[in-house]
Amino acid sequence: MSEVKKALLLWGVSFVVGFYCVFVMQQLWNWFAVPLLHFSEASFLAMYGFKLLVGLLTARDIGENPMHESRWRRALIVMNACVPVGGRE
């Protein structure tokens, strides 16, 4: 099997597993949090965005010093990009 086919297979499997995890998270949220905590139901895209945000905040780079928190730097970059230019001060 060529390297390209292996890479495509790995990407495809991770893509399917990732979306299945989002589906499971959505079902658990709608089953547990909605009736118990009286929250609104979460759509698939909202749960996908939540998964991306959690992944962004909890990711660690390989070989990086654990004391150097790059996740907060990434989070601040994302928040800075979301604030309009006039409101950044």
- DSSP assignment letter at 88: -
Within 10 A of 46 (CB to CB), how many other CB atoms are there?
Answer: 14
* pTM for the model: 0.61
- The tens digit of pLDDT for each residue in 56-78 reads 888 766 665 655 566 677 777 87
Q: Residue 47, class by beta-carbon neighbours within 10 Å (0-12 exposed, 13-18 middle, 19+ buried)?
A: buried
Question: pLDDT tens across 15-63, in order?
Answer: 899 999 999 999 999 999 899 999 899 999 999 999 988 888 887 666 6
Residues in Cβ contact with 64 at an 8 Å cutoff, skipping those fewer than 6 apart? 70
Q: How far apart are CA 89 and CA 86, in angstroms?
A: 7
